[in-house]
Amino acid sequence: MTQADEQHATASQPSASWRQRLWEPCDSASVVFFRVAFASMALWHIGLVLTSGWIDYYFTNRPYHLSFFGFEWVQALGGTGMWRIHLLMGLAALGVGLGAFYRLSAILFFVTFTYTLLAEAALYQNHYYLMSLLAFLFILIPAHRSFSVDALVFPDKASPFLPNWCRWSLMFLIALPYFYGGIAKLNGDWLQAMPMGIWIPQKTHIPIIGPYLAQPWVAWALSYGGLVLDLTIVPLLLWRRTRLFAYLAVVIFHLMNSVLFKIDIFPWTMILLTTIFFAPDWPRKLLRRPSLKIPKAAITASHTPSLLQRATLGIVGIFVVWQLIFPLRHYVYPGNALWTEEGQNFAWRMMLHNKDVFIRFYATDGVTGKIVQIPVSKMLTQRQLLDIAKSPEQTAAVARFLAEGATKAGLQKVEIHAVSILSLNGRKPQLIFDPDLDLLTVERSWKHQSWITPLTEPLRAEPWDVPSKEWPQAVGIKLPKAMIPQQRAPTAR
């Protein structure tokens, strides 16, 4: 950040300490745009959820919901309840965008949005996590001081200026997915154009560019292009001389992602919110409005923040440090995080793996020895089943639910086993844990799950293409001779 960047929008002096610069006022125009853009994207997301049938599919008469470890206590509501939650969320997003009852709206949006994120882990997306974090920051940032309903109703509290830390903390959060996304791509699979080498050739149906996507070099170009962009884009956005070029690269990158992949609102959200890296008064310049000169009284007042202001910034500081540390936790776990999924979520490890799966669950009667194949496809959504198959932790978590159903069906001293075979980024499929393991003996924990079989299959020159029904034979596993009960999907309790 240079003085030229902040011309007419900040009063920083070369001799000012970094603590003083945190509090010095800057034009609030870019933060206001960020607030409105964020709320608009949130409303778009809510509209998609309410019109796409997601609520009925994932929450109406569903007896089981995936949960994150430590948040099992967050219980999903039924379809009607989730409809009400999303309508309330939409009202809160509208309040944030308009700056009406702003603090209450920000708190309400954060609570409702984060609740939906935690209520069904199968719906997790990195950009939903980003929206939750931004919603938390909006509670602390007075982004309603100008261009808002609150500023009109309470003009004595209105101001066209905000402390620098408000804008910088938003810049920090937008930088996180880029920076950690780039770090995550520094792995052997990505550097060998996987999983792009699997995904891109499947996109040949796309108009105009489709025929070119079958060329092998395209996957390599996209892999290394994405890596370079993620690792360099933040410093290029921070430097005034390269900022416009970097932003154009961001726009092209996200437009391409929108065409190639179904990533919901993420590309458009990042295109709009990355504008926070421009000078604080860029919206005024775009509209050909004169820049604001900061009064000396405001500069002087910024040097003596109140106790409440210092406490608020302290919370933001703790938040920033946590967001720097938490995404790195996968380095603590042994093995390949793409395989074990340990430390994979909430870490900006985006689009790094393609997992094809084969999974069968079995309940064993400990008294009679009878084995029953559990019809999980009738009990869970396809998205839930895919996430359970990909994550050993979720496989162990669902075992309790399956055991409860088996007990109600008349089995005694139930054991739950699974034959779970995965192919990571086109590798030959491999068992991810011992089929003889009783999953009821496994406890969810922050610690490494030692019962997960380490990945041993090397990356292949050509992706594995044997049908999944043939995988047990390919890995030398004989499926148990089990009954296959005919039953309806259980209803919500």
Q: What CA–CA distance (Å, rounded) separates 337 from 174?
A: 24
Cα 14 to Cα 18, 239, 272, 296, 413: the distances in Å are 10, 18, 31, 17, 73
Residue 240 pLDDT: 95
Q: What CA–CA distance (Å, rounded) separates 113 from 49?
A: 12
**3-state class of 281 per DSSP?**
coil
Of the pLDDT bands very low, low, confident and very high (cuts 50, 70, 90), residue 299 is confident
Average pLDDT of the segment spanning 194-218: 92
- Per-residue pLDDT tens over the stretch 368-380: 999 999 999 889 9
Whether residue 114 has pLDDT greater than 90: yes
Residue 230 pLDDT: 97
Average pLDDT of the segment spanning 249-257: 95
Of the pLDDT bands very low, low, confident and very high (cuts 50, 70, 90), residue 61 is confident
Average pLDDT of the segment spanning 176-200: 96
Of the pLDDT bands very low, low, confident and very high (cuts 50, 70, 90), residue 263 is confident
Residue 296 pLDDT: 82
Whether residue 98 has pLDDT greater than 90: yes
Instruction: For the chain, give the number of residues.
Output: 493
Of the pLDDT bands very low, low, confident and very high (cuts 50, 70, 90), residue 16 is low
Which helix (H) or strand (E) segment is 415 a member of? strand 415-424
- Per-residue pLDDT tens over the stretch 308-356: 999 999 999 999 999 999 999 999 999 999 999 999 999 999 999 999 9
Residue 293 pLDDT: 87
Residue 340 pLDDT: 96
Residue 297 pLDDT: 79
Of the pLDDT bands very low, low, confident and very high (cuts 50, 70, 90), residue 485 is low
Whether residue 150 has pLDDT greater than 90: yes
* Residue that has been written with the tokens 């109703």 in this structure: 153
Residue 4 pLDDT: 44
Token pair of 340, please?
């074990």
Of the pLDDT bands very low, low, confident and very high (cuts 50, 70, 90), residue 489 is very low
Residue 490 pLDDT: 40
Residue 33 pLDDT: 97
Which helix (H) or strand (E) segment is 25 a member of? strand 25-27
Residue 483 pLDDT: 67
Return left, alpha or beta for 426; rule: phi > 0 is left, psi -120 to 50 is alpha, else beta.
left
Which helix (H) or strand (E) segment is 337 a member of? helix 337-340
Whether residue 21 has pLDDT greater than 60: yes
- More reliable by pLDDT, 381 or 300: 381
Lowest mean pLDDT among 5-14, 127-136, 155-164: 5-14
- Per-residue pLDDT tens over the stretch 383-416: 999 999 999 999 999 999 999 999 999 999 999 9
Residue 391 pLDDT: 95
Return the domain boundaries, the chain. Answer: 18-330, 354-474
Residue 20 pLDDT: 81
Average pLDDT of the segment spanning 464-469: 92
Residue 486 pLDDT: 57
CB atoms within 10 A of CB 48: 12
Q: What CA–CA distance (Å, rounded) separates 384 from 487?
A: 19
Lowest mean pLDDT among 146-155, 303-312, 447-456: 303-312
Token pair of 411, please?
């089995």
Of 336, 359, 343, whose CA–CA distance to 425 is shortest? 336
Of the pLDDT bands very low, low, confident and very high (cuts 50, 70, 90), residue 19 is confident
Average pLDDT of the segment spanning 281-307: 86
Average pLDDT of the segment spanning 478-490: 66
Whether residue 13 has pLDDT greater than 60: no
